[in-house]
Structure 1
Amino acid sequence: MITSRTISRGILKAVGSLVLLSLVLFFIYKIQTVILYIAISLVLCLIANPFARFLKKKLKFSDLIASITVLLVFVLILIGFVLLFVPLIISQAYNLSLLDTNTLQNQVGIIESNIETYFNLHQIDVEKMVKESNLSSKIDFNYFTDFLNTVINTITSFGVGMASVFFITFFLLKDQRLFKEKAKMILPDQNEEKILNSIEKINELLARYLTGLLIQLLVVFILYFIVLLIFGNENALIIAFLCALLNIIPYIGPIIATVLAAILTLISNIGGHFGSEMLPNTIYIVIGFLIVQVIDNNVSQPIIFSKSVNSHPLEIFLVTLISGITFGIFGMVVAIPIYTSLKVIAKEFFPNNKIVAVLTENI
């Protein structure tokens, strides 16, 4: 028999559960930066594990020396990325400096004169309007100092973030065996084998996925580089590398890369004639990039990704599309790794479910 005390207890229990869930979600929201650092560190570990295993087995490195060596390689790669961007920035700044500033100043003067003539013809006293509007009091002169502080804070946060990621990655690489032993002690006995099998399989599939992603980016980089070289772009190597990196973002990344290549090509040809040099070169490069994307979307990407994570290309497309609609660009980037992990877990814990069996038959 249901009594008022039973009902009240049920309500209190439900309210307590909701409060606890809210507190957990709030806590996760507050530490989202730390979660992001850990996620990036886990990805770096997946990339570094094959290299670390090679150092330990073939060269007989200890866990400590192998981890330090791998991190040094990551740091050198990061420094290499930074050094790649510097020549591009200097080159584009030089191209912009070639602009005929006198012509630009004359054009601005003509526009200003035309505006003044227009207001005079309509008997509008601009000077009086400016004084009455008290425009100077509405201008926020703190904007520039705020902008400078934002830039400094961003650089500082990036530095702290990189240091945190490398610190976490170091211990994840160095103490993998220790973490596995501790996990075995914590995990419930009845599900211990399933959880460990899931983790092992996820590591294997994600390592293959990341390897496939690197191969895909390399293919796209080479094709972009060839296109830019054909049309004589001075910064072909750097622009191709930058545009290839944008391909990490499925479907949207290539579009951004094409627009970026077009803009950088226009800037690179600022000294030339617009009709005979700047515009034709830009159009040719855009067409070349579109051809590369057709090849990538229909040949290299489906083959590499479907083979690496054992999923059908249509399955990958739908998962990426749904994640993009739901969570934006970040959702598109992490869609395939998360979906693959969920498939592995589902197969391990619900092998007899018909839907799970169909989706995971190749895993």
Structure 2
Amino acid sequence: MNQSPTPTRDPAVGERGPAVALTALRRDYTVHAKADGARRRTARVIRAVDDLTLHIERGEAVGFVGANGAGKSTTIKMMTGILQPTSGDVRVLGRSPVAERRQLAREIGVVFGQRSQLWWDLPLRDSFAILGAMHRLTERERRARLDRLVAGLDLSGFLDRPVRQLSLGQRMRGEVAAALLHSPQLVILDEPTIGLDMVSKEGLRRFLTEDRAERGTTLFLTTHDMSDVERLAERIVIVDGGAVAYDGALADLRESLGAPRELILDLASPREEPLRVPPGAQCAGIEAGGIRHRIRFSGADLTVPVLLASLSEQAEIADLSLAEPAIEDLVRRISAQER
């Protein structure tokens, strides 16, 4: 059987500019409804994405987060060519996703947490063989890449099992492997750790970090598991009401919101009375018979070394740890400010 030739393309396409460039992006939906007692259906327009502008450079790892209905999934669908924007411009790896959807599919890898790209009744191994042929990988390329994915994502125990017999966690690891099989330049992950236990989550995060470091891949991540963002992303973009509410480093977000941090001290000997704290800090609790003291403070007003110097003058510290504000709280604070 003759294999169709690989289509030629301008080698400069996809090599210019950022990995993702979204400019004044909008997407409207028309919803038809019929009120009680009304004879005619009425239509109203819902704006899911509203003037969203976002640029992601090649090699970046970006966490794209927000509440349900914030516009995250709609944005991804426009980035991958599933949806046509109402207005604005989308460029992914230098391509127009709708007009060049086939070409773009060879250069990106996508995981939708609730949608599968695996063949339900076939063994997982066969799905990888089919996907390798679709991406026109040579047998040598496919085997080498698959061996890396099987080892990194711990797939060997269920490669020969039909996909329909896999647990949700096993299937999600298979989905990630399928998205990475052709070594894409851009990886878009929508809820990639859904259904995974803690050990599997940690393994997936570690593999994604290592693979991105090796290949210089750009990572675009949406998730409700904020530990994914903290472990995988260098930059966080918060969307609210279809628009960007924050774009920057996670540490800068914590500082700008003045979100409280907590210093947890284990003293060498019990102390029932609270430690004296400088302005900007307060005692949040005393536990374990006076051994453990929790000190809450604002990172914008007080640094850890200054606070620790003050506390160590009053008691011998055996151990300490620092608890950062949960990212869910930061997202809620940003959303509240926007409203």
* Common fold by TM > 0.5: no
Structure with more helix by fraction? 1
Q: TM-score, structure 2 length as denominator?
A: 0.21
More strand by share: 2
